[in-house]
Structures are given as structure tokens and as C-alpha cells.
Structure 1
Amino acid sequence: MSLIQQRPPLSHEEEYRYAKLAMEWYGWGSPIGLGILLVALAAAAVLVRVAVFGL
């Protein structure tokens, strides 16, 4: 049997705790999410500049 099959199921409290931790790290507040947001804002600023002032 694998390790996953040997482990007892998580309680509702444990599931909630792990889900909350995962969403805090992998959501938009994570370093990756903030990096994507920063790049998107920079790209939008460049597009607005090109639209207003041209190349």
C-alpha cells in the first residue's frame, strides 16, 4: 500500500486549515500572483501610452 492509502482521512478542521493556507500562498497575494499583477499593470500602462501618444 502507498503512503496515501495508509493515511487516515482528514477531519473537517484539518481540511479547512490546509485549504486556507493553500489559498493564502497560491492566491493573488502570493509572490507569483503579485508578480503577474505588476507585469499586467506595466503592460497596460505601455498600451495606454502608445494609444494616447503613438509610437
Structure 2
Amino acid sequence: MTDLPTGRACPDCGEPMADLRSHNARQCTNGRCQLITGWHLAPGQKPLIGSNRIDRKEHDQ
């Protein structure tokens, strides 16, 4: 499964999926199948959105 310019395709219907980052999920955007799938980071992967203070503390020590 690859990302389309409009978002990752739904595995059920092929329509784009919206990222629900605060819920760690993706939801189909077509309004019919209403599929919601989990979307979790790989082990050790840092979130793209977060406080940059965490990185500063690691580098200052």
C-alpha cells in the first residue's frame, strides 16, 4: 500500500484516508465504509509534532 498525493488509500474501498494524529488513527474519508485503523509509530521513532525542549535537554547534557 502506498501513499497517494491525497493520503494513504483505504484498504477496503481505495479512497484516501485522513490522518487523526492525536488519536493515532486513520479514517476513511468517503463516508460510506467508515473504516478507522490504528496508526502507531515504529519502535524508537520520534513523533513529528512535539516539544523541541525534549531534544534540547538530551543535547545539553
TM-score (normalised: structure 2): 0.24
* Structure with larger Rg: 1
